[in-house]
Amino acid sequence: MKLGYVLDDLFVEHRAPSGHPERPARAEAVRDALAAAGIASSGTHVATRFATDEELARVHAPSYLDELVKVVPGHTGWLDPDTYYSPKSWDAARAAAGSVCQLATDVLDGKLDQGIAVVRPPGHHATRDRAMGFCLLNNVAAAAAAARARGAARVAIVDWDVHHGNGTQDIFWDDPTVLYLSVHQFPYYPGSGAPTEIGGPRALGATVNVGLPSGSGDAEYLAAFDHVIVPAIEKFKPDLILVSAGFDAFEHDPLAGMRVTFAGFAGMARRLRAVADRVAHGRIIAVLEGGYDLDGLAGGMTQVLTSLLAQRSDRPEPIAPLPVAGSARAAIDATLAAHAAAGVPIPAPEP
């Protein structure tokens, strides 16, 4: 398998105000961990590039992009109470979106099979016309749209960041060619991601939300993957899988209340790698989103790298059992029930 990766010091130049959790050390921690894991000898470095106007306009409103161009470059300030910018933030944001687009098109063109992008600022909260949640441009959404423009019939986006990716959902809400799947803490910021949010009139079932309760860990996440996320991907049969890989569900993350360990992230990554092998010719790209414990970030993305580079196995992962009862079981059941009631059921996992 040919793996491409995006690592660039430009993403450290998005400089945080003192005490802000979305800080340059996040990218540095992941960069150093992947270097120690041998990513340079295992993959191909993909040169950083800015997103084109066309790539950004596919997923963001022209008026919003015009406002960012007027306000952000060379300046310091706030776009909302959480989302800052510094003099190099516009360059970093355009490079984050453009580099993930490049990874996606390289994978579709057969130059690469897989990818990892360590980029900042993150993107999945950025809607068509609004910055929020530390995000200026929606990197994964831009890459999905670039893949569609390159010829992909269908793209799946799996978001395991602890916060629901409201921006990605918003952008593809009524697009039946992009499947958006999220496993997140619920209720929690930004307030979206209920199980009944299943897509617009033209795209019923193309949005899948599993909102797990605070305190959920490996068992609950892997059950959600085995009984909801993976079967939905199997049914959709995408040409490419993009992963919004946030690591703030880590057991020690300061901004959330989940209990996922490195073994849990490895299990999720292995499942996505396996389903990509089965239905998407192995095409899968992991893109950094949130995660604010540096050890969690470093170890989590190292697990993703290891899972992507592992030899393909003909032995499927054992299916994680559904929780017997409780709020985690209720959350999974609610997602399955919402899709069944709308006539777009998610199939049961194959043994």
The domain that contains 37 carries what CATH number? Answer: 3.40.800.20
Whether residue 150 is contained in a domain is answered as yes
Give how many domains the chain has, as a whole number.
1
Q: What is the pLDDT of residues 185-219, one digit of tens each?
A: 999 999 999 999 999 999 999 999 999 999 999 99
Tokens representing residue 73 in the block: 């470059």
125 is catalytic: yes
pLDDT band of 317, cuts 50, 70, 90: confident
Residue 315 pLDDT > 90: no
Residue 351 pLDDT > 80: no
Q: What is the pLDDT of residues 68-118, one digit of tens each?
A: 999 999 999 999 999 999 999 999 999 999 999 999 999 999 999 999 999
Whether residue 348 is contained in a domain is answered as no
Rounded Cα distance, 195 and 252, in Å:
26
pLDDT band of 1, cuts 50, 70, 90: confident
The residues pairing with 43 across neighbouring beta strands, listed in sequence order, are 3
Where residue 282 falls (left for φ over 0; alpha for ψ -120 to 50; beta otherwise) is left
The percent of residues in the chain predicted with pLDDT above 90, rounded, is: 97
Q: What pLDDT sits at residue 311? A: 86
Beta-strand pair 284-288/240-245: parallel
Host H or E run for residue 35: helix 25-36
Rounded Cα distance, 219 and 224, in Å:
9
Give the three-state DSSP class for 286. Answer: strand
Whether residue 311 is contained in a domain is answered as yes
In sequence order, which ranges of 177-293 are alpha helices (DSSP H)? Answer: 218-224, 230-236, 262-279
Whether residue 101 is contained in a domain is answered as yes
- Name residue 179's amino acid: L
Whether residue 293 is contained in a domain is answered as yes
Q: What pLDDT sits at residue 314? A: 74
Range of the domain at 76: 3-341
- With tokens 């360590």, the residue in question is 118
Q: What pLDDT sits at residue 159? A: 99
Q: Which of 1-5, 34-38, 71-75 has the lowest mean pLDDT?
A: 1-5
Supply φ then ψ for residue 332, to 5 degrees.
-65, -45
Host H or E run for residue 99: helix 89-108
Q: What pLDDT sits at residue 34? A: 98
Whether residue 131 is contained in a domain is answered as yes
pLDDT band of 316, cuts 50, 70, 90: confident
DSSP secondary structure code for residue 11 in this structure: G
Beta-sheet strands, E only, within 136-279 = 155-159, 178-185, 207-212, 240-245
Q: What is the pLDDT of residues 12-30, one digit of tens each?
A: 999 999 999 999 999 999 9
Tokens representing residue 167 in the block: 């921006």
Give the three-state DSSP class for 45. Answer: strand
Whether residue 136 is contained in a domain is answered as yes
Give the mean pLDDT of 18-43: 97
Rounded Cα distance, 187 and 198, in Å:
17
Whether residue 350 is contained in a domain is answered as no
The one catalytic residue in 60, 124, 125, 339 is: 125
Rounded Cα distance, 96 and 50, in Å:
7
Rounded Cα distance, 27 and 24, in Å:
6
| Burial category of 49 from C-beta neighbours within 10 Å (exposed 0-12, middle 13-18, buried 19 and up) | middle
